[in-house]
Structure 1
């Protein structure tokens, strides 16, 4: 896909807020994922061409791990210093990011499915580009 590589995530700080989710990177910077996450049961199919970030919190919801899926913009050094991981998938390829959380590339779309009980925390997906951002919280199929 590119000269970029997969990078294992480190633990980042997490703060859940009425208006969205704050993430504090290991280098001290913070970002805010705006919007109350929409509840999704089963598989979430993100729109092709969007930046997809998957966050799994710990049971206390104060820490978590954040992984960018198929991100080709961010340099390896920036991800490593921030604690954010990255996984690169070819079309048709799937990978278990964490126990209970699987990502799949279906063409240029990313699909995410999760079982928060198996993941032992809450599972959020953030989908964004220059035009807008969307937040989701994943639950098993009903």
Structure 2
């Protein structure tokens, strides 16, 4: 049964000690836009570390669209920083903040997407993780005559 739930409301994530962000739930639209950002990475000429750069593009795009407010984030002078593309980008340049946004905001949404398909392959793209369904043959069969 497909269970329809009402749209979720924005929520707070404790990011780092003294820092929290208010985010909107990740929607299909935001995921599609983020995938477009990722596809640009794959179309680039430099294919070195493409997987890492694709993940960074995904997290950055989702964060840019999802962060609504924050507390405990300031400018170089210690004044509260306003939330905009530039300051969100600066927050994401801070490794511990980027990592927490990836782990606490983006990854759970991706995991929910994987749960929808109970017969999907393993994350590596193979079915190696799937259990064997056939018993091994007792002896090898003879070749067909030509």
**TM-score, normalised with respect to structure 1:** 0.25
Larger RCO of the pair (alpha carbons < 8 Å, separation 6+): 1
Query: What is the TM-score normalised by the length of structure 2?
Result: 0.25
**Greater helix share, structure number:** 2
The structure with the larger Rg is 2
